[in-house]
Amino acid sequence: MTRPLRVVHFSTTPLAGMPLRLVRALGRHASIEARLVDAARFGLFGQDVVFAETPELALALAEAADIIHLHNYLGLASTAFAPIDFAALARRGAGVVRQFHSTPALVAGTMGIPVAELLADPLPALVIAQYPERFYPRARVVPNFVPEDEPDYRPADAPPGVDVFFSHTKTTGAFEDRWNTKAAPETIALLAGLARDHGTTSDCATGVPLRQSLARKRRARLVIDDLASGSYHLTGLEGLAMAKPVLSFLDNRCLELLAAFAGTARCPFVNVRLEDAGPVIRALLADPQAAAAVGLAGRDWLLTHFSAKTRVAYYVAAYETLRRDPAGLRRQPELSLDAPGARFFASALPEAVHEARRDRHLAATGHAPPPVAPGCDFRPWRFSKKSHFAAFAPPPCLAFRDAGLADLKYYQHLLAWQVLSASLPAGARVLEIGGGDSPLGRALAERFAYTNLDPLAGAGSGPTAVPADPPGRLVRAALGERSPELTDASFDAVFSVSALEHVAEDPDLWRALAADLARLARPGGWHLHLFDVVDKPDGPWTAGFLPYLLARLGRQGELLPFEAITADPDWHHLSRAAYDRNWLPVTGVPFEAFGRAFSWNLFFTAEELPPAAPEAAGHAPAVHIARDAASSLGLPEILLRRPLPAIRLVTPSRDQAPFLAAALDSVLSQNYPALSYVVLDGGSTDGSAAIIRRAARHLTAWRSRPDAGHYPAVAEGFADADSAALLGWLNADDLLHPLALFKIADAFLADPALRWITGRPTAFDASGRVSWVRPDLPAWTPDIFYAGDFRAFIQQESTFFTRELWQAAGAAFAPDFPLAGDFDLWLRFFKHARLRTIDRLLGGYRRHGGNRAVLNHDQYLAEAGQSLARHRPFFFQSKES
């Protein structure tokens, strides 16, 4: 008897639960043994295997798979599931296919690779039969679907409880992001208007579990899918399954795909645009019989033409082709986009229509483009708003991705580009303050004479090393230093993006910064400075330099109370999803506690900020005004109330050149003022010494010569006689999280009785991206280890301790534990003090396949067992006494 085909899916994001629905449908309708391995626990969707929790099971499934099915952000070289090696599995005979659910710009941007490289990948590929399909001309097109026969998807057996249901995961506007939007702000505003004028009731669901969302959808008379992008989503198919009229705007290409896969030209959606949806909703609600008939026809279409069983057949056929002839898994001829006419109708025409709709939307809302000349009123642009996105026309290199997941810098980069590109001629002289190595700088360097003034000191998690190919001209100095490389009055525009809020709360520094700014722009030139500010639960925050500049400009009245800003329905702030993805790994503070970050946009001319007056006239009034403004807004002062404790950090290294520079940078870019950093290389032959030598002036000490090994090197680093009260070590292939040293100092300053701490365990992939964050926060005790719990250990990279505790534990590592020396040290620490686990991201373990602990896992466990046996009498005698 032939065994069933084994297919294992891998995904790093939930993708609206589609991979799981597909896996379940393959098992029910195709007799395929299908499993899904998710990178982490996502929360809103059901899951099968979670790699972060059961990596051994995931590895076993991958090893036994006939086909590896990768989703969206994963390719053959991906290391998000290391030590699983997709390329090695392919070489051993497993078929590997990749499925795209998003546009190339989003996928490539998230992966950090060029779009051209993504599209040139020869790996056999599938793409969903929705909007992204038109951008993957090689990929075979396959349909998305829902399990229409499951109870949660069937029509409700109770009367409706609400008129309209709408669900969205992003807050992006109708014309802000071509695919990754359901026009959430505009649709919600539309529903609010219908409620106000006609008493229409609605249920807008976001951030809730799928089953809860489905239950709420079943209570509605109508479902709104996506009225803006020109395509439908899974939420629309769910509404059809429930026999609801589903409103969605489908462009010609999506209608063509729907007909091709359904085998009928009949469209089950109420095909209507956002601009026309209001009257259509009212008409359907006014005629319940018509609405019911439309809903039943939609479900009939789904059962007849788009059932899960018939949709699964497309995937089964793809798997069969993959096993028989991988090169044959390509675009269906009837859906080919090779001919110019086909490309026009599939892509150029819908995009032109979309742009025309965008322009009409701007005109209808009266939203003028950003001011681009002195004298224009910049006040409507003082802080970030959702509607601003519709006025941006970015170049392809800045046209990102998924705006709902983008950092706040995405908005700021688009605003800066719009103002600069619309107001300055090509070749104009542009100066950026603290530009680092950003996509914006590269785009500007192609158009203007671009200069970047940046000391590369790592402020705001910025870079510390000179880019290999810096855009434009780099002047490595700080604002306020009056660099002689920048001549007075030489720039047409001076701007900064999220750079000036990182300056210290020092009026003397403010004066120096303002004086340097005042000298740089030519007469008639102008400034644009974009500040991060935060609406915090305990009061708003921004740097004092912002109110100081406003006071210098005589415009302190512009700094509105935050209550007026946050009450504006058009206000744009960093979303929870974007914060969790981009900021949480740095701050270690949950979104609710950190607050909502947004952009304050300050525009002024060179004439408005004259050079500094003599000290007799002084700027004391501006300082006082700035402080008064800060006080009136509840802005906290940033004061160093106690000296920061000295930290001795040791990095032992041996032949880790591919990772060493990043490890050093993760430490040195912290700019921790009381750091004593020692790097001890064991005589590497791979160029490590040259890497260390380049950083030598920032190190307390270093050497490169054969030594006694890993742990003796760490002990050697600790033994050096200095006054550092806190100790820790970072292996050369691991990384610290940004601000880790300050978080460590804060923990010990907050509780002087602490002897040692550890943070929330995390891991990085081989490229240095966060790949895992432990979902629970264990309170470690020796009992955990003696109970046999070896699922995860105290993470050495996140553990720091006092010199006093190190000395009390013997100030040495046990020589008979060359791999588990840290584990043995922790047991000795437990004899003297409890371990405090803090909910902060401190350090992370980089998984790259060559880790000592991975290659010698069994030996590590054996040594840990020997250490437990050695110390067992102490802990059990302590319990008995």
Residue pLDDT, tens place only, 791-802: 458 999 999 999
Q: Tell which residue, 61, 202, 40, 208, has the closest CA to residue 581.
A: 40
Residue pLDDT, tens place only, 307-349: 999 999 999 999 999 999 999 999 999 999 999 999 999 999 9
> What does the alpha-carbon distance between residue 229 and residue 227 come to, in Å, rounded to a whole number?
7
| pLDDT for res 165 | 97
| pLDDT for res 765 | 82
| pLDDT for res 637 | 30
Residue pLDDT, tens place only, 702-729: 999 999 999 999 999 998 756 789 999 9
| pLDDT for res 398 | 78
| pLDDT for res 630 | 46
On the CB side of 111, CA atoms within 13 Å amount to 26
Q: Is the pLDDT confidence value at 276 over 70?
A: yes
Q: Is the pLDDT confidence value at 115 over 90?
A: no
Least confident of 112-116, 198-202, 280-284, 367-371: 367-371
**Crossing angle for the helix pair 507-520 and 620-632, nearest 10 degrees?**
110
Q: Which two tokens stand for residue 546?
A: 């912002």
On the CB side of 452, CA atoms within 13 Å amount to 27
* Residue 175 near residue 389, CB atoms below 8 Å: yes
Q: Is the pLDDT confidence value at 634 over 70?
A: no
* Residue 222 near residue 281, CB atoms below 8 Å: yes
Q: Is 811 left (phi over 0), alpha (psi -120 to 50) or beta?
A: left
| pLDDT for res 641 | 40
pLDDT band at 458 (very low <50, low <70, confident <90, very high): low
pLDDT band at 31 (very low <50, low <70, confident <90, very high): confident
Residue with tokens 């058009």: 570
- Cα torsion angle, 261, 263, 264, 265, sign: positive
What are the strands of the beta sheet with 95-100, ordered from one edge?
49-50, 33-38, 6-11, 67-71, 95-100, 125-128, 140-142
On the CB side of 827, CA atoms within 13 Å amount to 25
pTM of the model: 0.57
Residue pLDDT, tens place only, 198-219: 999 999 998 788 999 999 999 9
Q: Which two tokens stand for residue 137?
A: 């001309």
Residue pLDDT, tens place only, 476-523: 888 988 999 999 999 999 999 998 887 877 777 888 899 999 999 998
* Residue 443 near residue 400, CB atoms below 8 Å: no
| pLDDT for res 635 | 33
pLDDT band at 778 (very low <50, low <70, confident <90, very high): confident
346 burial type by CB count under 10 A (0-12 exposed, 13-18 middle, 19+ buried): buried
Q: How far is CA 593 from the centre of its chain?
A: 18
pLDDT band at 243 (very low <50, low <70, confident <90, very high): very high
> What does the alpha-carbon distance between residue 876 and residue 291 come to, in Å, rounded to a whole number?
72
253 compared with 578, residue with greater pLDDT? 253
Q: Is the pLDDT confidence value at 614 over 70?
A: no
| pLDDT for res 640 | 39
On the CB side of 205, CA atoms within 13 Å amount to 24
> What does the alpha-carbon distance between residue 140 and residue 310 come to, in Å, rounded to a whole number?
17
- With b for 16 or more beta-carbon neighbours within 10 A and e for fewer, the 676-686 pattern comes to bbbbbbbebee
> What does the alpha-carbon distance between residue 41 and residue 776 come to, in Å, rounded to a whole number?
11
